[in-house]
Chains A and B, each alone.
Chain A
Amino acid sequence: MRNQREPDDDGGTRPPDGAPDTETEGGNMRILVLVKEVPDTWGERRIDPASGRVDRQSSSPVLDEIGERALEVALAIKDSDKSTEVVLVSMGPASATKSIRKGLAMGASSAIHLVDDALVGADLLFTAEALAALIGREAFDLVLAGNESTDGRGGIVPAMIAEHLGMPHLTFMDSLRIEAGQVSGMRNGDHGPAEVSAHLPAVASITERLPDPRFPNFKGLMTAKKKPYTTVSLAEIGVGGMREAASTVISSKERPARSAGVKVVDSGNAGRELADFLAQNRLI
């Protein structure tokens, strides 16, 4: 059974339990895709010494590639069933709009952007709470995300959102399919690939083993500006103010950049010399 929109002020109501679900409706899937603007990994990344947070000014921002890949998975589902609606969900500064619009240009139908000063420096708990509050107000069958962003690298938010929503999570998925009201696929598990499955609605995260994201085409770029783009604040989704972060950064030191050591060109003896090097360093 699909997650239904909460009753709202304009008189919308939640259908009674037992209302037709996606299985019997056939099609009309609504997929929410979490995307995020991150510092480009090709640039230098650093921690701002004053705040102890990722310095998001010191490198040019881009839409996280793994989120684009999650969007690709959703768009591929839409390609095979045109009635599918793909909605971008993002949390970040107002300036992230440009990155999020790239997802609309790729083919998403609309975007919801959570912007609030109280979210600056939000930790995992607050981030998951805010995103889950936003998602819980939407009708959806599936929430899709990348397995982990290239900046925070926690890889933990999708499971946290699932807990908030009281839904199953299927994380680190190397493949994903949806049929008969179920989502399933191969999960990159700790002890080898494992088949997992759950009834919709559910929260899934995908790995970079899924196909590369498509590039926006000219038509996509032209229509992106006309697509619905909603900006919401924490108050509008019913989440109150600041939270104390889970931890306080007490020191941050950049490791001396790993510099190249010895580099030799093999002239017939490099294997024996390497054995000497390993022995000198007590590695054999």
Chain B
Amino acid sequence: MSHILVLVDLSPAGEVRGDAAALLAVAAQLGTPVAVAAIHPGAGEGAAALLGGLGAQHVYLAETEQAHTLLSLPQVEALDGAVRHFGPEAVLVSHTHNGQDVAGRLAVRLGTALNVDAVALARDESGLVATHSVFGGSTLVEATVRGARSIITVRPGTLDAPAPPSAAAEAIVVPLRLDGVPAAQLGTVEAVIETSNRPELRTASKVVSGGRGLGSKENFALVEQLADTLGAAVGASRAAVDSGYALQTRQVGQTGVTVSPDLYLALGISGAIQHRAGMQTAKVIVAIDKDEDAPIFEIADYGIVGDVFTVVPQLIDAIGARQNS
């Protein structure tokens, strides 16, 4: 079986972030899954056990003090070393801002084919086939991946493979030297205050988003209330973020996060094309807005022309009544 490398994003505290579990699951279907990460020296043992638990057969860990203080290069160097060690058929990287930069630099360095923003991966007789969703989800393109090796970035939240059995992963820990690499210094990440245990926006199966129609930061609490009733993640339109109703990390759309949940509930969002580009591949779209001509209704499976401040509280009560009955 050919090796499939997966770049894993580990937090400074050693937690797996983002889509690593889903990437390892699809890697297990395509070949032998190998998890690769840049870590702080000494964090290896915990990481190996954790990643084995997600199905990684091998774990390649590159240790450096600068794992979290240099932009992208620690991950590029870790993957570079892992590619030389395993000679894999493919390298899978999450299509996030960090992942895009890592994949791009690695592809140039190795002169390896690069396929970006895949929403599905499969194998047929000709090799790996990546499916891409383009033009804001209006067109699906299937492409065979050329060459003996490829780097593929995968849109978060789109893969849907059953979790592989956990493995006693074989760990390789190597020291990483980063003296003089051309990398930007990464300062402190602004603490994003999470007030609840809501699912992560990129990978949530349900998303409730609010827009300018909420009118104020205080009113935006209604979005959060509905999200918590549904067990959903909270999103926002650019207008709501620019008005200070929601943190920028919540922004759904061309500039922000692209989501493909089972349910997308848009509250007080008119539905500019930049917003639609980030959510229109959702399976079911529900929109509530005062303006009956809002473009969001053109793509909504269920649209309600009405006041979010009367419809949403009634919806929350009705869901509560069902859950209690």
Chain A residues numbered 240-257 whose CB sits less than 8 Å from any CB in chain B: 244-255, 257
A219 contacts chain B at the CB level, 8 A cutoff: no
Chain A residues numbered 35-70 whose CB sits less than 8 Å from any CB in chain B: 41-42, 45-47, 52
Given contacts A248-B146, A254-B139, A257-B138, contact A159 B105 (CB under 8 A): yes
- With beta carbons under 8 angstroms apart, the residue of A125, A172, A195, A265 that contacts B108 is A125
- With beta carbons under 8 angstroms apart, the residue of B140, B183, B254, B285 that contacts A208 is B254
Quick check: A252 and B139 within 8 Å, CB to CB?
yes
- With beta carbons under 8 angstroms apart, the residue of B9, B185, B262 that contacts A190 is B9
Determine how close the nearest CB of chain A comes to the CB of B122; give it in whole angstroms: 12
Quick check: B98 and A160 within 8 Å, CB to CB?
no
Which residues of A lie under 8 Å from residue B230 when comparing CB positions? 283-284
The docked-state distance in angstroms from the alpha carbon of A194 to that of B182 is 18
Quick check: A272 and B322 within 8 Å, CB to CB?
no
The docked-state distance in angstroms from the alpha carbon of A257 to that of B141 is 15
B298 contacts chain A at the CB level, 8 A cutoff: yes
Quick check: B104 and A196 within 8 Å, CB to CB?
no
Chain B residues numbered 249-286 whose CB sits less than 8 Å from any CB in chain A: 249, 254-255, 262-263, 273-274, 280, 284-286
Quick check: A155 and B100 within 8 Å, CB to CB?
yes
Which residues of B lie under 8 Å from residue A278 when comparing CB positions? 263, 286, 319
Which residues of A lie under 8 Å from residue B71 when comparing CB positions? 168-170, 187, 196
Closest to A202 in B: B184
Which residues of A lie under 8 Å from residue B239 when comparing CB positions? none
Quick check: A252 and B142 within 8 Å, CB to CB?
yes
Quick check: B187 and A197 within 8 Å, CB to CB?
yes
Contact with B along A177-212 (1 / 0, CB 8 A): 000000000011111111111100010000111000
B198 contacts chain A at the CB level, 8 A cutoff: no
- With beta carbons under 8 angstroms apart, the residue of B115, B138, B300 that contacts A246 is B115
The docked-state distance in angstroms from the alpha carbon of A211 to that of B72 is 27
Quick check: A192 and B146 within 8 Å, CB to CB?
no
Quick check: B184 and A168 within 8 Å, CB to CB?
yes
Contact with A along B290-319 (1 / 0, CB 8 A): 001000011111111111001111111111
The docked-state distance in angstroms from the alpha carbon of A246 to that of B255 is 26
Closest to B280 in A: A258
Determine how close the nearest CB of chain A comes to the CB of B34; give it in whole angstroms: 21
Quick check: A45 and B138 within 8 Å, CB to CB?
yes
- With beta carbons under 8 angstroms apart, the residue of B96, B147, B305 that contacts A266 is B305
A215 contacts chain B at the CB level, 8 A cutoff: no
Determine how close the nearest CB of chain B comes to the CB of A43; give it in whole angstroms: 11
Stretch from B24-32, B54-62, B129-137 that touches the partner: B129-137
Determine how close the nearest CB of chain B comes to the CB of A239; give it in whole angstroms: 14
Which residues of A lie under 8 Å from residue B16 when comparing CB positions? none
- With beta carbons under 8 angstroms apart, the residue of B11, B189, B303 that contacts A263 is B303
Given contacts A46-B139, A274-B315, contact A196 B187 (CB under 8 A): yes
- With beta carbons under 8 angstroms apart, the residue of B103, B134, B188, B302 that contacts A261 is B302
Which residues of B lie under 8 Å from residue A226 when comparing CB positions? none
Quick check: B284 and A281 within 8 Å, CB to CB?
yes
- With beta carbons under 8 angstroms apart, the residue of B101, B104, B310, B314 that contacts A128 is B104
Q: How many residues of B contact A (CB 8 A)?
A: 94
Chain B residues numbered 104-138 whose CB sits less than 8 Å from any CB in chain A: 104-105, 107-109, 111, 113-117, 129-130, 134-135, 137-138
- With beta carbons under 8 angstroms apart, the residue of A52, A168, A261 that contacts B182 is A168
A275 contacts chain B at the CB level, 8 A cutoff: yes
Determine how close the nearest CB of chain A comes to the CB of B278; give it in whole angstroms: 11
Quick check: A275 and B322 within 8 Å, CB to CB?
yes
The docked-state distance in angstroms from the alpha carbon of A46 to that of B71 is 36
A156 contacts chain B at the CB level, 8 A cutoff: yes
Determine how close the nearest CB of chain A comes to the CB of B277; give it in whole angstroms: 8
Quick check: B186 and A194 within 8 Å, CB to CB?
yes
Determine how close the nearest CB of chain B comes to the CB of A186; give it in whole angstroms: 8
Among B114, B135, B238, B288, the one with the most A-chain Cβ atoms within 10 Å of its Cβ is: B135
Closest to A204 in B: B184
Which residues of A lie under 8 Å from residue B130 when comparing CB positions? 247
Quick check: A264 and B254 within 8 Å, CB to CB?
no
The docked-state distance in angstroms from the alpha carbon of A250 to that of B301 is 30
A260 contacts chain B at the CB level, 8 A cutoff: yes
Query: Which positions in A face B, CB cutoff 8 Å?
Result: 41-42, 45-47, 52, 123-125, 128-129, 147, 150, 153-160, 162-164, 166-172, 174, 187-198, 202, 207-209, 244-255, 257-266, 269-272, 274-279, 281, 283-284
Q: Which 9 A-B pairs have the closest CB atoms?
A: A271-B314, A266-B306, A195-B187, A275-B318, A246-B113, A261-B301, A271-B315, A159-B104, A198-B184
| 19 residue pairs from A and B, CB less than 8 Å apart | A124-B114, A128-B104, A154-B100, A156-B153, A160-B107, A163-B108, A169-B105, A187-B97, A197-B184, A247-B143, A252-B141, A260-B299, A261-B302, A274-B288, A274-B315, A274-B318, A278-B263, A278-B319, A284-B319
Could you list 8 further interchain pairs (A-B, Cβ under 8 angstroms) beyond the known A248-B143, A255-B139, A278-B286?
A158-B104, A159-B101, A174-B248, A247-B143, A260-B298, A260-B300, A266-B304, A270-B314
